[in-house]
Structure 1
Amino acid sequence: MKYPVKRFKSLTVALKGIEPFIRNGKHLRSGAPFDNFGDMRSREILANWLICAAFNSESQPERLTFASTRDPIGGDGVLVDTATEETWPTEHVLALVPPGDVGEIEPRVLAAVAQKLDKGGAAYATGKTLVVLLEGGGERPWFPNKVAKALPRPLHFGAVWVVGLQGVEAGEYVYNVTQMDEEAGIAHVWRVRIAADFDKWTVERVQ
């Protein structure tokens, strides 16, 4: 279904636009929404950007982009297929791992998914893409396949992605981007490395 949207000129322009907020981790956590971009928060813009970067690494450059929209669908932005103009509304939720926490990460991701499902069930989730923003944990290992196997049934959401910062290496921001395939019970994982000058990025398929 097509919706009226506002989008960045390119993913490169989008990345430069959110550079100050990526460098300022506090803004990603609690910064105010941007009125001129559909009330999206910086963390929501970053997460949608990361999904597009991962997807496009195995498709055409700029094939998938993202945009904002308010009513009638609301939500946290939409993913846009520039070839077909098909759109997928997104809903975002935080899965927080507090500093010093040594518990398993997988239950936190699953709890975040359940939180969104509890908000409205099938009527709320159907036709939408759920994006879980994993905050904290850093380089701690976790097992995405466990999450894919344990996702609620029926899931209702059309897709589930998990994005999180892996670390900062020589000024480069490194993120993991995970797509859950609940039917197969597996996860697909990409590593997105943003250059220190925020002018370019590379993507590696790691699972």
Structure 2
Amino acid sequence: MKEVRMIKDFKKLLKDFEPMVKDPDFLRTGRSITNFSLRPREAWANWLLCAVFRKLNGDEVTFSDDDKCDGIIIDRKTGQCVETEHVVAMNFPDRKKQLPKGEARIIEAINQKIQRGVDYAEGKFLVVFFDGTDLWYRNKVREAINGRHNFRAIYLVGHATSGQDGYVYTVTELHETFSVSYKVEISDDFTDFRVSEIRDNPMAKYKFIKYLINTMRWIAAKLICFGRRNRGS
């Protein structure tokens, strides 16, 4: 039987993730990590999920690899362990088919796992790792899958923004009657992180800010052109 490796130093692992997360192609297509049976995106999604769990339940929450699933979430304080199954909803540059935008991208990925049946899902967390959705609504995802699956819970882990100020991911847990989302902010040097609850749509605020910035740039460009025309007349 293969040895299961449990993560003990949570912040050290964050630093180890830095080159993987900053290389999107590797995060999409990378195979198992050395001495760890999970793919980079599976390990990273589990880390983000545990970051939220640790915010809610304390620092004894961690995860391990496993040769029968895509990682196990472990609460060392209570001894509770939950297996995870992952599905990816990302565009792969070498594939002709591009995924839909919005919540349709996430729902399509979840449906792939629902089709695997009851035995596959029973007692497990389903983790959807996604990007490229643009604006999406978590309540539409919840309503589309409500009552149709047998997973213990479904978590949506998505890339929101990245830049000089660091990386931001959202983690959304879907319940039968409501959903809750958290923001995981990671420093650019991957030495620190912060978790906070977000009550609005997990992507809307970032898209609105981006839209606002682009609008201001457009207005500024128009004013510059207008000023040049006036000076030339």
Instruction: Give the match for residue 176 of structure 1.
Output: 170
Instruction: Give the match for residue 208 of structure 2.
Output: none
Residues 82-125 of structure 1 deviation map (CA, whole Å, 9 limit, x = unaligned): 111211110000113578x7954212211111101212x00111
CA gap of 1:118–1:177, structure 2 versus 1, over 3 A, is same
For the pair 1:162 / 2:156, whether they are aligned, the reply is yes
Deviation at 1:33, TM superposition (A): 1.3
Q: Contact 1:33 / 1:40 at 8 angstroms: preserved in 2?
A: yes
Distance in 1 between residues matched to 2:91 and 2:102, nearest whole Å: 7
Q: Contact 1:129 / 1:160 at 8 angstroms: preserved in 2?
A: yes
Q: Contact 1:67 / 1:80 at 8 angstroms: preserved in 2?
A: yes
Q: Contact 2:89 / 2:99 at 8 angstroms: preserved in 1?
A: no
Instruction: Give the match for residue 57 of structure 2.
Output: 59
Instruction: Give the match for residue 182 of structure 2.
Output: 190
Please give the TM-score of this superposition, normalised by the length of structure 2: 0.77
Instruction: Give the match for residue 27 of structure 1.
Output: 26
Structure (1 or 2) with the greater helix fraction: 2
Q: Percent identity?
A: 35
Distance in 1 between residues matched to 2:100 and 2:108, nearest whole Å: 13
Distance in 2 between residues matched to 1:52 and 1:89, nearest whole Å: 13
Distance in 1 between residues matched to 2:61 and 2:38, nearest whole Å: 18
Q: Which amino acid aligns with 1:44?
A: E
Q: Which amino acid aligns with 2:88?
A: L
Matched residue pairs, number?
A: 194
1:109 to 81, 100, 106: 106
Deviation at 1:10, TM superposition (A): 2.0
Gaps of 5+ in 1: none
Q: Contact 1:97 / 1:105 at 8 angstroms: preserved in 2?
A: no
Q: Which SS does the other structure have where 1:188 is aligned?
A: strand
Structure (1 or 2) with the greater strand fraction: 1
For the pair 1:81 / 2:75, whether they are aligned, the reply is yes
Gaps of 5+ in 2: 200-233
Instruction: Give the match for residue 135 of structure 2.
Output: 141
Deviation at 1:171, TM superposition (A): 4.0
Q: Which SS does the other structure have where 1:197 is aligned?
A: coil
Q: Which SS does the other structure have where 2:57 is aligned?
A: coil
Q: Which SS does the other structure have where 2:50 is aligned?
A: helix
